[in-house]
Structure 1
Amino acid sequence: MLRITILTALAALSVASLSARPRARDAGIPFDGTPGPLNAITDVQGVEVGHVTLIAGDGPLEVGRGPVRTGVTAILPRGKAADAAPVFAGTYSLNGNGEMTGTAWIEESGFLEGPILLTNTHSVGVVRDAIIAWQVRRSGSGRRDVPWSLPVVAETWDGWLSDINGFHVKPEHVFTALDDARNGPVPEGSVGGGTGMVSYEFKGGIGTASRRLAADLGGFTLGVLVQANHGVRRQLVVAGVPVGREIGGGTRRFAGSNPTDLAGLSVGETGSILIIVATDAPLLPHQLKRLARRAALGLARTGAVSGNGSGDLFLAFSTAPVGTSAAIGTPVDVKALTNEGMSPLFESTVEAVEEAIINALVAGETMTGRDGHTAEGVPIPRLQEILKQYNRLVAPAR
C-alpha cells in the first residue's frame, strides 16, 4: 500500500519536533551569519512550502509497483493568494545535466509567474501539467484568467532508491502540495521531492536555512531551500572539516542523476542539486541572477565540484513589489538596491546555502529502497566526534 504523507510548514510546531534528528545547529555544527527565527526559506514573508511524500513497498524492483520513495515539493513565492503578482527572478546553471522548466521565459521577461515545484527526473512532465490544471481550476474563484502558463518544475534523480519508471507522482499529489503549502517551519530530509535523494553518498533530500541582515545593511531577509542529491563521500566538508574522508566508506555508485550502469559508477560525481533562493530585498532580475550565481559558492563550501554528470540548477526570486500598471505604455515605479548594496546578500546566500545542504544531510535518516539499496543517514555522533577533534564543535544551539 502506498503511504502518502502530506507535510506542510506548520506554524505550531518546531522543526526539531518534525524529525527524530536534530538540525545542524542543534548538533553543534558552527555556521556564519544570523538566521531568521525559523532558519528557513519561509522566514521571507509570504513564501509558503508544501511537501507530499510517497513511500511504499520493499524488496526487488517491480516497475509500476515499487518500491516507491519519491514525492513533490511546492514553493509559492507569494503564497496562494488569488491575485498574487509575479516576482522578479533570475536563474543560473552551474552544470546543466538536469531540467528546470520555464527558465527561458524567466530569462527573457525577468518574471517568475507562479509556483516552483521540485520532484524526480521522470515526473517533471506530469508535475508541470498539474500546475497548469491547478491554476486553471483556481481561475474560477477570483484568480485572473490563465490563457497560458510556463510552470517552473525542477528535478533530481531518485532511481537508486525508488521505482522512478513507475511514474508514481500523480496530479493529485501536486494539487495537495500546492493547496496545503504553508508558512512556518519546513520539514527537512526525506520529504517531498527529496524523499529518495542521496547526497555525498549519505541520505540527502530537502534542507533549508535563512539569514537576516543587520538594520544598517537593510534589515532584509534571505532564505534558501535545497533538494540535495549530489556529491561523493570523499568530497564532503562540514564546517571546513573533511568529514567525508574521516568517516570513510562510500561506493560512489548511487550519487547519480542519470547513470546507465548503477553498479559501475566509479569515477566522479553524477549527482544533482537544486537551490532556490528567496529574499525580500528589492532586486531586479539581473541582480537576482547575480544572487543565484553565489549559490555555487555555498555549494562549494560543502565540498562539491559540480561534476560532468551533475545537474546543478539555481533560481533566485524577490518578493519585493515589482510595480504594475493596467495601461500599456505607462511606466511603473520599481525600487532596487545599488550594486554596492548587493555584497551582504551575496554573503548571506553563500552562508544559507551551505547550512541548508548540511541541514538536509543531518535530517536524512537511513532509508532502504528498491533491490535493498540503502542510503545511510549521516552518523551524527561520529560527525560530532570528528568536529570536536578539529576544534570545530560548538555548544548546541538552544
Structure 2
Amino acid sequence: MTWVRPVVQQLRQQMGEDRSQIRISVVLSPCPHATGKEVEIARSYPEIDRVQAAKDFWKFLLLGKTAENWDWRESGIVIFLGGDQIFPVIIGHRLDYRTVVYAEWDARWHGWIDRFGVMKPEIIAGIPAKYAHKFTVVGDLMAEVSKEIATEEIKDSSHTIELIGLLPGSKPAKLSQGVPLLLAIAEKVHAINPQTRFVIPVAPTLDLPTLARFGDPQQNPLIEQLGWASAKLKFKDEDSSYFLITGTGLQVELHTTAPAYDLLSQCRLCLTTVGANTAELGSLAVPMIVLIPTQELDAMRAWDGLPGLLANLPGVGSAFAKAINWIVLRQGRLFAWPNIWAKAEIVPELVGQLQPASVAEMVIDFLNHPEKLDAMRDRLRSVRGDAGAAQKLAQLVGEEISN
C-alpha cells in the first residue's frame, strides 16, 4: 500500500490508460508478514491489470510459468518494489525486460540492473564509478503518504478534540497482546482526560469481528491472565459506524477506510506496535509511543528472515520464538523505523513487562506538554527523504521504455 499504490498511480498518470499500450502486472513474492489478502488489495487498485499471488511465485521465478499462463509482450520493464533485489535480475533476464529497482537503504547487483531510483544520496556514495550513471535520487516512497492528507481539524462545538490513535497491529501474534493492552491504557487516560477520543485505524487485512475477538476474554485468555481491558463490538445506527466499548463504557471508534492517512494526521499522539505502521506515522510526522510488551514472548513471532521462519515452525516454533525474542530484546536494538532511520530514539520505545497505568502517565504527560509533541514531530520530519518519489520513479520507467 505504501510503495505499490503511489507508483502505479503515477505510471497511469504519466503513461495513460490505454491498456493496449501499457499493461501493469503485479507479481507478489513470499513474505513472513503476509496476511493472504494482498491479492485482493492489489486488485482493488484500478491502475493494475492483473495480479499473481505469492504462493505461485517460485514456480514463476524458476520456470517462467504464471498460474494463469500469462502472455508477455515483446518489450517491458520489471519494477522492483520490495522483496529481494535478486528477483528483478532473474525475472528481467527471463522476460528479456529492462529492470528498475527502488532502493530504500542499499542497492545490489549493480552490473545486472539497468536503473536504480534511490531514497537518499548516501546510498550512491559507495557505488563504483562505472555504475554511477545508473543511479538517480528519487526521494522517499514512504513520504508519499504526506501528499494525501487533508488539513482540516476534527472539532466539536467548543474546542479541538484530543484524538489518540491506537494501532495494535494486524496479525494474531500482535493483536493478542496489543488489543487488550491499548484498550486498558485508553481507559486510564480517559479517566483523567475525559475529553480524549480514541480511534483504531483497522488494517485492510483485518475484519471487525476478528479484531473484536482479541478483546473478548472468552477468546483471548491473556485478558484475564494479565488483567487488561476487554471490549465488545457495537454498531451506531445514527452514523452507521462501529466501535469497541470497554468495561468502563469507553467507546473506541473503528475506522475502516484505508489508507487512513488523513485520520492519522489528525491524531495528537498514537500508541502503536512495531512494524511498517511506525514508518507511516513517521512519514506523516505523527508523534507516537511504540509498545513492545514482553509478558508473552511466545506471542511475538513477526521477525524477518530466518528468525521469523524458525519462530513459526509447527511444534517447535514456540520454543524458538521465546529464545529468539529473549536474545533480540536483550541486544538493546532500536525497533521503530523512525528510530532506525535516525540511529537514535526520537520516539519512545517501551520494552518489557508493560503496565497500562505507567504508559497512561506518559501519555498524559505528552498531552499536558504539547511542546514535547512538537519537538518529536519536528524530528520525525527531519529523518525522512523528500516526497515526490513515485513521480520520479515513474519518469525513470518512462525513460527505460524509451530505451
TM interval, short-chain normalised: under 0.3
Q: What is the TM-score of this pair, normalised by structure 2? A: 0.23
Q: Which has the higher strand share?
A: 1
Q: Which has the higher helix share?
A: 2
| Structure with greater contact order relative to length (CA < 8 Å, sep ≥ 6) | 1
Higher radius of gyration, 1 or 2: 2
Q: What is the TM-score of this pair, normalised by structure 1? A: 0.23
